[in-house]
Amino acid sequence: MVVGTTKRQADATPYAASLIEGMRDFGYTLETAMADVIDNSITARASRVEIIAETTTDEPWIAIADNGAGMTELELIEAMRPGSKNPLKEREGHDLGRFGLGLKSASFSQCRQLTVISRKGGVTSAATWDLDKVAETNDWRVDLEDDLSDIPALDRLPTTGTIVLWRKLDRLSTNFRHDSAKRSAEINKAIVLAESHLKLCFHRYMEGGRPALRILLNDRRLSPIDPFAIDHMATQVDPEERLPLRNGEVVTQCFTLPHHKKMSKPAWEELGGPEGHLRTQGFYIYRERRLIIAGSWLGLARQTELTKLARVRVDIPNTMDADWKIDVRKASAQMPPVVRERLRKIVERLQGTSKRTYQRRGRKLVSEDSLPLWSRIQKDGGVVYRPNVDHPSIIGFGESLPEEFRHGFRVCINLLGTGLPIAALHADMLGSAESVISDEAEFVELADAAETAIRALLATGMTGNDVARTLCSTEPFIHHRDAIRRLIEDIEQGTHL
């Protein structure tokens, strides 16, 4: 017992054997554990990560090899230390770490023996934590390996880089310890699940960057899964919204996935994942471009059919870790209240207001006794807009054309209709519906079209008043009521030239 000048103190060094066992249960699964190890590879600027799983031998192992910066022996010893870095310390922008724990806690969640082999400046170093040994010695002493001959996967270590090797996989093969075939099947099943998690988790690193990150699983290159299907033509992409806060900027962007009929079945199913689209709508939260939370409205809304195709990307920097209460696994977070409010608005907008407004407007367009230039048609559970080729202006002009041009004219009109920039309109409307205005033509530009329509309608026996009411209730004539009335009078009286 030590007596201090002001207070008495006692030695409370943690018991290595108990604490290291406690580090096994932070709530990792194989997929989140692998992702945590790959985080370190990305922070070390690796462009290639290889996962090798040997599941058929009596002593199965999993290795994750990268071609990142590697470590010297001293750096490696530091890396093996639980709590190797202070969570309060500022990290560089590309650093995916925070707690100085992940390598150890992720590995121990899956295995009882962790060996890290690293090569830097032509020197190879290796160190091992063996939980059985720590249990015996109750000592925080890591084994340094001088003889690397019995280390599997060593041939996968690049000129510079690191291998994280998991042996004694007790957590991955609990049930079938004595049946190697069943054990192998069990581990492989977990690896298959992990595969789709990794494709999603790191998709932004795998899609881009200089160079793009390549992740291989047993020599097979994994392709990224982009949860927003940005490359698909029919995906609706809204503008980014920025929320600057004291510790960093939160950037959100809404995406609406294409209707399933517009995608191939495998692409649609991959996007929905095993849980399907209803369960995968919502926010996708990325910390430094690494996905930490996927497909949840985070208590702000229920996952419903109405918003099934809506996915919102939320980007946060690592400077906001404390605000978001990021956990060691980088698999959970809590929203700061100000962000919560912003996201609530986004959800409300997606859920209803804009959609309902839009539907009301759409209905109004066709419900009145009017002649719209655009027809709103219910089709396949959705709505399509088409130019109204039966509008008297269009029919009238068509009929004024020589026979051989009429078909071409109709084709052009329909072409314009199919080219309606729905995605951009939708994005603009979601941004601010008021800011989307139709291009109001000057009456001089419309006069010919108006005259054709008026003559066509009068020819059907309608009165001048009826024609005026019908035409003036729709775009584009709605803005030129007086001029239309005068024109009708002129035409009726034969004074219009």
Residue 427 contact, options ligand ATP, Mg ion, none, Cβ 5-8 Å cut-off depending on partner type:
none
Count of residues of this chain found to bind Mg ion when the rule CB under 5 A is applied: 3
ω before 476 within 30° of 0 (cis)? yes
Q: Which is nearer to ligand ATP, 107 or 184 (CB)?
A: 107
Distance CA 466, CA 469 (A): 5
Distance CA 298, CA 23 (A): 28
50 binds ligand ATP (CB under 6 A): no
Q: Provide the mask over 252-291, with x wherever binding to ligand ATP is found by CB under 6 A and - wherever it is not.
A: ----------------------------------------
Cβ–Cβ under 8 Å, residues 314 and 324: no
- Nearest Cα to Cα of residue 39 among 115, 105, 86: 105
Q: Provide the mask over 320-339, with x wherever binding to ligand ATP is found by CB under 6 A and - wherever it is not.
A: --------x-----------
Q: Measured from the CB of residue 157, what is the shortest distance to ligand ATP in angstroms?
A: 11
Contacts of 214 by beta carbon, 8 Å cutoff, 6+ apart: 47, 48, 49, 206, 221
Q: Provide the mask over 88-107, with x wherever binding to ligand ATP is found by CB under 6 A and - wherever it is not.
A: ---------xxxxxxxx---
Q: Which of residues 22-61 bind Mg ion (CB under 5 A)?
A: 40
97 binds Mg ion (CB under 5 A): yes
SS3 annotation, 261-312 = HHCCHHHHHHHHCCCCHHHHCEEEEEECCEEEEEEECCCCCCCCHHHCCEEE
317 binds ligand ATP (CB under 6 A): no
Q: Measured from the CB of residue 325, what is the shortest distance to Mg ion in angstroms?
A: 17
Q: Which of residues 101-120 bind Mg ion (CB under 5 A)?
A: 102
- Nearest Cα to Cα of residue 116 among 48, 37, 34: 37
Runs of H (alpha helix) within 305-463: 321-324, 337-348, 354-367, 392-400, 403-418, 422-432, 443-459
CA distance from start to end of the chain: 112
Exactly one of 109, 162, 280, 470 binds ligand ATP (CB under 6 A); which one? 162
C-alpha Rg value of the chain to the nearest Å: 32
Exactly one of 17, 35, 53, 71 binds ligand ATP (CB under 6 A); which one? 71
Q: Measured from the CB of residue 354, what is the shortest distance to ligand ATP in angstroms?
A: 39
Q: Measured from the CB of residue 45, what is the shortest distance to ligand ATP in angstroms?
A: 9
Distance CA 471, CA 465 (A): 10
Stretch that binds Mg ion, among 96-104, 204-212, 282-290, 372-380 (CB under 5 A): 96-104
Residue 258 contact, options Mg ion, ligand ATP, none, Cβ 5-8 Å cut-off depending on partner type:
none
66 binds ligand ATP (CB under 6 A): yes
The contact set with Mg ion (CB under 5 A) reads 40, 97, 102
The contact set with ligand ATP (CB under 6 A) reads 36, 39-41, 44, 66, 68-69, 71, 79, 84-85, 97-104, 162, 328
